[in-house]
Structure 1
Amino acid sequence: MFASIARAIFGTSNDRSLKAYQRRVPQINALEPAMQALSDEALRAKTDEFKQRLAGGATLDDLLPEAFAVVREASRRSQGLRHFDVQLIGGMVLHDGKIAEMKTGEGKTLVATLPVYLNALTGKGVHVVTVNDYLARRDAEWMGQIYGFLGLTTGVIVHGLTEWERREAYAADITYGTNNEFGFDYLRDNMKYRLEDMVQRDFAYAIVDEVDSILIDEARTPLIISGPAEDSSDLYRTVNVVVAELVKDPDTYEKDEKFRTVTLTEDGTRRVEDMLQEAGIIAEGNLYDIFNVSVVHHVQQSLRANTLFARDVDYIVRDDKVVIIDEFTGRMMEGRRYSEGLHQALEAKEFVTVQPENQTLASITFQNYFRLYPKLSGMTGTAMTEADEFAEIYKLEVVEIPTNVPVIRKDEDDEVYRSAGEKYEAIAKLIADARERGQPVLVGTTSIEKSETLSGILKKKKVPHAVLNARFHEQEAVIVSQAGAPGAITIATNMAGRGTDIKLGGNIDMRLKLELADIEDAEARAAREAEIRAEVDRNHDLVQAAGGLYVIGTERHESRRIDNQLRGRSGRQGDPGGSRFFLSLEDDLMRIFGSDRMGGMLTRLGLKDGEAIVHPWINKALEKAQKKVEARNFDTRKNVLKYDDVMNDQRREVYAQRREFMKATEVSAIVADMRAEVIEGMVSRRIPVKAFAEQWESAELAEDVRRVLNLDLPIVEWAREEGIDESGIRERVERATDMFMAAKAANFGPELMRFVEKSLLLQILDQVWKEHLLALDHLRQGIVLRAYGQRDPLNEYKSEAFALFNAMLDELKERVTMMLARAEIGPDAPPAADFQPHGPAAEQMIESHPDPAMATSGAEPAYEMAGGAEPVRLAPAPLRSDAVDPNNPATWRNSPRNAPCPCGSGKKFKHCHGRNM
């Protein structure tokens, strides 16, 4: 009660926001005569004047009234469109980084030109995000005339552009594009190896059109770029032939069954190099040549497959597949595959089909992508119903902008029928009646199948109609533009009908574009144009007299917002119109109330076949049900985002570090620090602090140094010296390594060494990040089951993801150190300037944004894999239902393999208490 009294006295928060914006409108209007008096050149010169004032210390808010007045006049001269006062308010809302809710037909596309122009004056670039390629092209071409008139450039990002075209489009002052293309360009940029190859600039300001669709409906699933985990299956088979021959001689490799590791001896390395050269896999040179990074990985995995894994023990071969056997249960694990190419190596070993395998290379949700923009705003016809979600997830306030002319559309109460058949018959009857009166009808359905059902009924009754196919956006725009013609019947799904007004009598601009395209004679064109204009004017009067556009909803949607979008197609700019929803007890939403009980009640009330019940109470009950469903869906999206936020923090860190590596002219200090940390870790694992000399693992440390640092040091002898301790051993290893790497750098030369270090660092960072993403995928799929053990899955995920991230960083340091220690450049190698590292070829990568409608609560979306259109799910990782307690050895087996052992030894778990697990 007190809230309603306060609203009556002080107004709502929306009213108060509008009053603040309305105070600035007279200031803009007062400038209009002065702008109209300017010549085209003088008006265009205002852009340079504004830029100079910004450089002199003025703010965008200082320039807003004059800049908005300039855009309004430029629009009037170039488009014949003058911004209404409410459109000026909408522009101010967008400039302030808020969401402007403006009804359909209020000119949101034109509204955006005001803040776009103002913010483009900074020179940092403005992105305008649309829902499909057609609208991106149309708006860029249409509104680009205003920007061009004022001396600004416009670009458009759509599917199929080259890298050069994308770079040019992003370099423009204003860039239009789709949400998918912006997101994928961000991911692709962070897979490149040179700053000059990146297409996007730093983020500044974005306006999202249909913001509810993009930031809510499509935000339930991430953008994913997947690609081949490693090279083609042919390479696995060829390397396997070489390794299978090699392992016949036990002197070519050293195997540690306790630690499940295997490494080549010097003799083995030499023989592998010879055989790989004969097979044409590597050119002349060392196996650890910088150009052979991928080959080393294949050799190592093949060596593991041939020496550490036994058929019918670790796996079986069945139906042309390698099936893993669970070491604990002895059961076959259908669908599980070893990662990092090991499974392909086993398939090559057993001469079965080597399955191509894709894995996630990069992914991001729309929530986290759009939160990268320092300033974000949006516009739509329906946002107030989702205001809480916009505020909580994106920190965006929604402001409802009043219409230019009051809405006079009549929204009638819903009609409820007992069966879907009765409902469709009633809809068909109403459509036929409206057609006889010459009243156009737009019918909204919730699925393509239901569109086809209704279309079939209308065909039987011989009622002409059009069915929209949302897959062809340009065709859709043509159909929607003429949906207001007398007697036009249009059936559309929820996806259809966006971005194009339904004007009573038909859209004259679209008709002129289509019907005058083939007429070349100027007089004939003028005559035909006059006929079209007269015909549209007559049709407009006919439709107005018939009651305007009538909107029919075939059932209520889960979200009130979608229903309001459909209703909003009618009653634009003060036009007459009407709307009504038809429901049945068989509809999805109605079943929430228990259709059996309601059906029995309606029968007792004497409801006969074909009759409907109409009452405002039903509308209120349905609205309550929709609010419950909306709240549930919001919780689902919020939960998904919480998990993605964990990965997002890591993604930001990796991408920022990657960019720093690319910017740096040399990374010698970075790799030196990595090398020092690797040495410290190796020594501390084998020689724990304060351990007795007889407890030292000196021989194992010498083997680690040989494997990682490529040095044969007398560590066993050092350990026998009197008075030496762990720090003394470490210092000697560091000194020997520094001398070894200094000699290598002198041999390479400073320029080549800098290139080798930088390229290896970037390539290996990408490798370990890719493997980390796969590990997180596996972890995410199984983590929800931790709830059965009274554990919070989110906290468990955060904890394990953090441990995995630290393990990834350790792996990065070790791989970089090992590869640099073994790197060699052959005498015939091309100069550094001619060689650039590269990731998977564009044709090998798959970009996917799984259909949000297919995403289920709490489940990971299916990932599309190379080699077929069938989506498959990644197999879950083994589950650990309990957390790790350092004081309880019984829980230690739950430690991640690469995490520090909970016993406190300083070793990784897999090298300590996890050795036999």
Structure 2
Amino acid sequence: MLGGLAKSIFGSSNDRYVKSLGGIVNKINAFEPSLKAMDDATLANQTAAFRARLANGEKLDDILPEAFATVREASVRVLGMRHFDVQMVGGIVLHRGEIAEMRTGEGKTLVATLAVYLNALTEKGVHVITVNDYLAARDAEWMGRIYKFLGMTVGVIIPNLTDHQRKEAYGSDITYGTNNEFGFDYLRDNMKYERETMVQRAFSMAIVDEVDSVLIDEARTPLIISGPTDDKSELYKQVDAIVKQLDADTYEKDEKQKSIILTEDGTETVERLLEGAGLLQGDNLYDYENTQVVHHLNQSLRANMMFKRDIDYIVKDGKVIIIDEFTGRMMDGRRWSDGLHQAVEAKEGVDIEPENQTMASITFQNYFRMYPKLSGMTGTAATEAAEFYDIYKMNVVSIPTNVAVKRVDEEDTFYKDLNDKFRGIAKTIKEHADKGQPILVGTVSIEKSEMLSEFLNEEKVEHKVLNARYHEMEAHIVAQAGRKGAVTIATNMAGRGTDIQLGGNLDFRVEDELAEVPEGPDRDKAIERIKEEIALEKQEVLAAGGLFVLGTERHESRRIDNQLRGRSGRQGDPGLSRFYLSLDDDLLRIFGPNTLFAKMMRSSLEDGEALPPSRWMSKAIETAQKKVEARNYDIRKQVVEYDDVMNDQRKVVYEQRADIMDADAVGDVVEDMRAETVNSIVGDSCPPGSYPEQWDVEGMKAKAAELLGITPPVDDWLGEESVDVEMVEERLREAADALVTTKSADIETDTWTSIEKSILLQNLDHHWKEHLATLDALRQVIHLRAYAQKTPINEYKQEAFALFERMLASIREDVTRTLAHAEFRFQGAPELPELPDFITQHFDPFSGEDDTRDLDGGALGNVTTTLPPLSYVRPEEPDLGTDPKEWEGKVSRNATCPCGSGLKYKHCHGQVA
């Protein structure tokens, strides 16, 4: 009570913090008159002046007011848009490494330019993270006009760029791109064999747009780069045919966890069916020999019983395409991992593509925590403020709107079942559309949007459907959703990137209606006519009550609901929002309370009757959503805890790779590995405290021959009076060193260094890849330790550490063995092999959802799992001449083209016609 009283008098801590930034905003505004008086050239020269001041010891905070005022003036001149004072507050929050929560339509894209410009003055590079490639390209071009006017360079990272283009983009002052592209570039860089082929530079600052979507929703799933394995499509088909024969009583499913298990009777049934198909080894399904069959069986069960067509995926052009549960978009080319996608392909009878093996992975949490300064912006972050601080140490600051919000948020309306609800929604839509009010209808799946479309057709209501099937029309449909009487059905509205303007969007109407009209007086007149029509129509829409947002179902996350609501009431416009629910909705059915009230409601309500809006029921829904959000937070937290273990190891491996690539020579490293291997051999054969006659001499000789390539006269050494373990170790080291020294004597120093580097990197990558697979397998079973009253995460840490130690020992042995036994012949430098088709994946180990795209090998740069054969020589540089026709046969297809383009020869003058 006292807290509420204090808050009403003094304001919340958020209000006080925002108010404290008013002094800085006043300083920014004070610079406006002097900047307005500057000509364009003088204003653009401000960038050089700011950088000079930073070089002389001033801090970014010192020049913030003048820099922000400069960006505002540049925006006015270039875009015709002036930052509001509240947008200045948002810019200060971003600069301080915090999250700016700003309502939809408040101009977050423009706010980012303030902090981006200021931090880019350090010339260390600022990364702006968006939720999709369209927004990255749009914002880089749109906001890039301001930066370029002020003399800064802007790059954008989109799929299928060459390494040269990526490196150039990362070298810019400001780089736009998606979270996936930045994360995968980091992983690819740490799979390369030469420092100059790496595209990213040291991290400085990142600003994340739709920060809740990127750092919360997508952070449940690690980024993975994988390569193809053997084709097992026939096995998937056979197992799928068996699963389709099972009855509902043979398995139990948990929709909360998206998991499914066989009952005892179901196991016996499956064993008989597998035995009949010749797929079962022995009598027991769970024998070790049947591990692979069990894995395929489990994935096929999930595919057939848990994943639904037109909700989780659609089938288009003979391919299974995943639907993003948060945005409702098709994710073309993206695939579920761990064999789930293949199981769905078998279920739908389309071509089955092979599985993949993990080669590198990282979570978004550990990727973004590498940035010294991280900030973000979104319309909905307050509900997840605790998680943002726990994981990323970022505070959430709610920025007030420029104009007070006039939208009315009504209580939820309840119906008994789905059909009653949709019938009631269709009638409501018809009533509001008839009076000219535009309506945006939010659904949670394609299936629901098409079901509602049928009800609207019955009511003869004209409408447009925006979902994964009509993805290419997205921007045009959203842009005109604010026109008089327009009815738009959208499958989730997160990250659509296009504002709904009442009366219609001028740019899109001009594009749609005047595409055939050439530049000139006629086109100018037509544009003026459209402007007048939009202004008149806007007044009619405002009179009708503004945009009506109607939610057909509550999402499991309150943030998604708030994002939908936020589409209405933009920039002080009037608006209305209301959600319609039924007891058949997934949220209530799976997570809601199975209370006496729910049973009474189902039995007492008449068909088609709606329960009057109730604050109590709305509170119950919010409680159910909090349960889901808490569960999802636990999942994300668990992902971070396990990845933190791997992340410590990943840092060691990646730092070691970088040190190897940067070193002028690695002979000392190789020599230390050889010495460690010798110590290990002697330690195994000569236990501490034992006498020479107790030593395993034959084992020592066999190991020395295998790993060191020598046959030491250990028997002769044992005859000496002074023999001890140290003497044996020293003599073995000397003999092993002498063998390698003899091999290297006939090879140029630079060439020998290249050989050692290549062998080190090749073995490091091979064992790291195997280590990742082992950790994946360990993680899937470590929870069983809980039955022994042990904490799984602690057990995982101990096991992972032991596995890492074993991996390092294996690397030392393999490097030593390779150099000891390899034979080197002088010949021409071998051509690098063509890259395999790597696949980038962003999958959820709990739900199997994936939201990234396949990339062909060419888009991954110089990533390769195998090095060329160990035949090294530095050939004389051939005289290529200046005529590209003469380069054929003289230039390796994977070498940089001699024309200076920076592209590979095969992608430039060496292209095959």
- TM-score clears 0.5: yes
What's the CA shift string for 1:67-88, capped at 9, x where partnerless? 0000000000000000000000
Say which SS state the counterpart of residue 31 (structure 1) adopts.
helix
Which residue is 1:783 aligned to?
A: 782
Once the two structures are TM-superposed, the CA of residue 429 in structure 1 deviates from its matched residue by 0.5
Alignment check: 8 A CA contact 2:493 2:563 kept:
no
Match among 846, 854, 860 for residue 856 of structure 1: 846
Residues 675 and 472 (structure 1), Cα distance of their counterparts in 2 relative to 1, 3 Å cut: farther
Which residue is 1:309 aligned to?
A: none
For 1:207, give the aligned amino acid. I
What's the CA shift string for 1:144-167, capped at 9, x where partnerless? 111111111111111121222111
CA distance in 2, matches of 1:427, 1:27: 51
Say which SS state the counterpart of residue 756 (structure 2) adopts.
helix
Which residue is 2:138 aligned to?
A: 138
CA distance in 2, matches of 1:424, 1:522: 49
Which residue is 1:624 aligned to?
A: 623
Q: Is the counterpart of residue 12 in structure 1 residue 5 in structure 2?
A: no
Residues 128 and 546 (structure 1), Cα distance of their counterparts in 2 relative to 1, 3 Å cut: same
For 1:633, give the aligned amino acid. N
Alignment check: 8 A CA contact 1:451 1:491 kept:
yes
For 2:511, give the aligned amino acid. K
Once the two structures are TM-superposed, the CA of residue 323 in structure 1 deviates from its matched residue by 7.1
CA distance in 2, matches of 1:860, 1:325: 34
Say which SS state the counterpart of residue 612 (structure 2) adopts.
coil
CA distance in 1, matches of 2:25, 2:144: 25
Once the two structures are TM-superposed, the CA of residue 9 in structure 1 deviates from its matched residue by 4.4
Say which SS state the counterpart of residue 844 (structure 1) adopts.
coil
Match among 508, 511, 521 for residue 510 of structure 1: 508
CA distance in 1, matches of 2:469, 2:671: 54
Once the two structures are TM-superposed, the CA of residue 618 in structure 1 deviates from its matched residue by 1.5
For 1:173, give the aligned amino acid. D
Which residue is 2:691 aligned to?
A: 692
Alignment check: 8 A CA contact 1:390 1:397 kept:
yes
Residues 862 and 325 (structure 1), Cα distance of their counterparts in 2 relative to 1, 3 Å cut: farther
CA distance in 1, matches of 2:715, 2:654: 42
Say which SS state the counterpart of residue 536 (structure 2) adopts.
helix
CA distance in 2, matches of 1:328, 1:536: 68
Q: Is the counterpart of residue 537 in structure 1 residue 527 in structure 2?
A: no
Which residue is 1:75 aligned to?
A: 75
Once the two structures are TM-superposed, the CA of residue 435 in structure 1 deviates from its matched residue by 1.1
Say which SS state the counterpart of residue 815 (structure 2) adopts.
helix
Alignment check: 8 A CA contact 1:170 1:199 kept:
yes
Once the two structures are TM-superposed, the CA of residue 329 in structure 1 deviates from its matched residue by 6.2
For 1:58, give the aligned amino acid. E
Which residue is 1:343 aligned to?
A: none
Residues 706 and 333 (structure 1), Cα distance of their counterparts in 2 relative to 1, 3 Å cut: same
| TM-score for both structures, normalised by structure 1 | 0.79
Alignment check: 8 A CA contact 2:160 2:855 kept:
no
CA distance in 1, matches of 2:703, 2:838: 37
Say which SS state the counterpart of residue 848 (structure 1) adopts.
strand
Which residue is 1:221 aligned to?
A: 221
CA distance in 2, matches of 1:472, 1:77: 37
Once the two structures are TM-superposed, the CA of residue 589 in structure 1 deviates from its matched residue by 2.5
Farther off after superposition, 535-544 or 5-14: 5-14
For 1:680, give the aligned amino acid. N
Alignment check: 8 A CA contact 1:83 1:111 kept:
yes
Say which SS state the counterpart of residue 377 (structure 2) adopts.
strand
What's the CA shift string for 1:368-417, capped at 9, x where partnerless? 11111111111000000010110101111000000000001011111111
Once the two structures are TM-superposed, the CA of residue 39 in structure 1 deviates from its matched residue by 0.3
Say which SS state the counterpart of residue 91 (structure 1) adopts.
helix
Once the two structures are TM-superposed, the CA of residue 784 in structure 1 deviates from its matched residue by 1.1
Alignment check: 8 A CA contact 1:156 1:169 kept:
yes
How many aligned positions are there? Answer: 757
Q: Is the counterpart of residue 501 in structure 1 residue 499 in structure 2?
A: yes
CA distance in 2, matches of 1:795, 1:372: 24
Alignment check: 8 A CA contact 2:180 2:852 kept:
no
Which residue is 2:526 aligned to?
A: 528
Which residue is 1:174 aligned to?
A: 174
Once the two structures are TM-superposed, the CA of residue 29 in structure 1 deviates from its matched residue by 0.6
CA distance in 1, matches of 2:629, 2:417: 25
Match among 828, 835, 840 for residue 847 of structure 1: 840
Residues 385 and 324 (structure 1), Cα distance of their counterparts in 2 relative to 1, 3 Å cut: farther
Alignment check: 8 A CA contact 1:98 1:376 kept:
yes
Runs of 4+ off more than 6 Å: 317-330, 603-606, 859-867
Alignment check: 8 A CA contact 1:225 1:846 kept:
yes
CA distance in 2, matches of 1:784, 1:745: 50
CA distance in 2, matches of 1:864, 1:480: 25
| TM-score for both structures, normalised by structure 2 | 0.79
CA distance in 1, matches of 2:285, 2:835: 39
Residues 228 and 456 (structure 1), Cα distance of their counterparts in 2 relative to 1, 3 Å cut: same
Over the matched positions of the two proteins, sequence identity in percent amounts to 55
For 2:751, give the aligned amino acid. L
Residues 322 and 804 (structure 1), Cα distance of their counterparts in 2 relative to 1, 3 Å cut: farther
Which residue is 2:302 aligned to?
A: none
CA distance in 2, matches of 1:185, 1:129: 13
Residues 551 and 184 (structure 1), Cα distance of their counterparts in 2 relative to 1, 3 Å cut: same
Cα RMSD (Å) of the superposition?
Answer: 2.8
CA distance in 2, matches of 1:52, 1:866: 42
CA distance in 2, matches of 1:221, 1:527: 52
Once the two structures are TM-superposed, the CA of residue 604 in structure 1 deviates from its matched residue by 7.6
Say which SS state the counterpart of residue 100 (structure 1) adopts.
strand
Q: Map 1:297-336 onto structure 2 (within 5 A).
A: 332-335=290-293
For 1:827, give the aligned amino acid. F
Alignment check: 8 A CA contact 1:409 1:575 kept:
yes
Which residue is 2:467 aligned to?
A: 469
For 2:573, give the aligned amino acid. D
Q: Map 1:86-485 onto structure 2 (within 5 A).
A: 86-228=86-228, 332-335=290-293, 358-470=356-468, 475-485=473-483
Q: Which runs of 5+ in 2 are unaligned?
A: 233-274, 296-352, 857-913
Which residue is 1:313 aligned to?
A: none
Which residue is 2:897 aligned to?
A: none
Alignment check: 8 A CA contact 1:183 1:366 kept:
yes
Residues 328 and 493 (structure 1), Cα distance of their counterparts in 2 relative to 1, 3 Å cut: closer
For 1:507, give the aligned amino acid. N
Once the two structures are TM-superposed, the CA of residue 513 in structure 1 deviates from its matched residue by 3.4
Say which SS state the counterpart of residue 746 (structure 2) adopts.
helix
Say which SS state the counterpart of residue 70 (structure 2) adopts.
helix
CA distance in 2, matches of 1:807, 1:325: 36
Which residue is 2:708 aligned to?
A: 709
Once the two structures are TM-superposed, the CA of residue 496 in structure 1 deviates from its matched residue by 5.3
Which residue is 1:242 aligned to?
A: none
Q: Is the counterpart of residue 806 in structure 1 residue 805 in structure 2?
A: yes
CA distance in 2, matches of 1:864, 1:721: 67
For 1:598, give the aligned amino acid. F
CA distance in 2, matches of 1:324, 1:156: 57
Residues 849 and 497 (structure 1), Cα distance of their counterparts in 2 relative to 1, 3 Å cut: closer
CA distance in 1, matches of 2:198, 2:103: 38
For 2:104, give the aligned amino acid. T
Residues 393 and 105 (structure 1), Cα distance of their counterparts in 2 relative to 1, 3 Å cut: same
Q: Map 1:807-846 onto structure 2 (within 5 A).
A: 807-830=806-829, 842-846=835-839
Which residue is 2:313 aligned to?
A: none
Residues 213 and 335 (structure 1), Cα distance of their counterparts in 2 relative to 1, 3 Å cut: same
CA distance in 1, matches of 2:587, 2:147: 46
